[in-house]
Amino acid sequence: MMGGRVTEQPGFEARKLLRAAASATLATTTGAQPFASLVTPAYLPDLTTLLLLSDLSEHTRHLKAEPRCALMAQGAPDGANPQTAPRVTLTGLAEPVPAAEVAVLKPRWLARHPYAALYADFGDFHLWRITPAAALLVGGFARATRLRQEALLPDAAAVAALAATEAGILGHVNEDHADALAAIATLLLGQPAGDWRMVAVDPDGCDLTSGDRVARLPWPTPVADANGVRMALVQAARDARTRK
C-alpha cells in the first residue's frame, strides 16, 4: 500500500498487510473486559490464521471460554504521524487445531517463525487457528474499508491450484534458481546475504527464509496458478537485478 491509500483491491491489500506482519495484536475478552496481547501469526493460503499459544497465557484462557476474537496488523506510517500507518483488523473465531492436523500445519507456522523451533514442542504450547469472518482495512488517516468475508479471502480456485503444485514450485525454485532468490532477498527486499530459500507460496506472495530470518515477497497482483508464480518471480528477479 503506497502513500497511505486504499487501492482498488482492498481485499488483496488487507491480505498483504496480514501476511507480511511478523507479529500482530490479538484482542480477546474475559467476561466484559477486553484484553490485548502480542502474538506471532502465520497464514495458510486461504488466510486461515495459525497461532502457537501457550496454555499459560491469559489470551489462551480467554479463547477457550470465548472464541470470538480480533487480530490487528499494521505497516509503516507515511511520515511522522502514526495514524498514516496502513493497518487491518481481522475478526473471526478461534479454535485449537485438531491433533490429526498438527503434523501438517505446525511446519507451516514454523516456516514463518523458524526461531520458535526452540520452544514449539514444549508441552504447554498448542497450535490454534482463526477462521476469518471479516476485516476492516485502514489505508491511512480517515481511509477505511470494511471487508466482508467474500471480499477478504483469496480466490478458492487459486488456493486449490497452488496447494496442488506448491511442493513442485518450492523444489524447482530452490534447486534451480537459488541465485535469483538471493538477488530478490538482498537487492529487492533489503535482506542480508545468506542461503535464501522459498518455504511457502500462496496467491498473494511467498515466504523466503535464511536461518532465522524471514522475508515476505508480495506479488504485484494475486496469482491463480503455478504459471502466475513463475511470471511474478521472473519479474521480481529482473527488478532486483536492476538495483545492482
Residue 172 in domain: yes
Averaged confidence pLDDT in the chain: 94
Residue 1 in domain: no
Same domain for 183 and 148? no
Does the pLDDT value for residue 122 go beyond 80? Answer: yes
Tell me what pLDDT residue 1 has. 35
Same domain for 188 and 143? no
Same domain for 226 and 120? no
Tell me what pLDDT residue 8 has. 61
Does the pLDDT value for residue 203 go beyond 80? Answer: yes
Contact 110, 50 (CB under 8 A): no
pLDDT in tens, 33-87: 999 999 999 999 999 999 999 999 999 999 999 999 999 999 999 889 998 999 9
Q: What is the mean pLDDT of residues 209-214?
A: 97
Q: Is 30 exposed, middle or buried (0-12, 13-18, 19+ CB in 10 A)?
A: middle
Domain total of the chain: 2
Q: How confident is the model at residue 7 (pLDDT cuts 50, 70, 90)?
A: very low
Same domain for 193 and 221? yes
> Residue 10: which of 92, 91, 86, 85 has the closest Cα?
86
Q: How confident is the model at residue 4 (pLDDT cuts 50, 70, 90)?
A: very low
The phi and psi torsions of 47 (rounded to 5 degrees) equal 80, 5
Tell me what pLDDT residue 141 has. 74
Same domain for 196 and 117? no
Where do runs of H (alpha helix) occur along the chain?
10-20, 58-65, 99-112, 149-152, 156-176, 178-183, 226-241
Residue 63 in domain: yes
CATH number at residue 237: 3.20.180.10
Same domain for 165 and 129? no
Sign of CA pseudo-dihedral 167, 100, 26, 23: negative
Residues 6+ apart with CB under 8 A from 123: none
Domain hosting residue 222, numbered range: 156-241
Whole-model pTM: value is: 0.93
pLDDT in tens, 187-197: 999 999 999 99
Tell me what pLDDT residue 139 has. 87
Q: Which of 131, 152, 173 is the last residue of a domain?
A: 152
Does the pLDDT value for residue 6 go beyond 50? Answer: no
Does the pLDDT value for residue 109 go beyond 90? Answer: yes
Same domain for 77 and 193? no
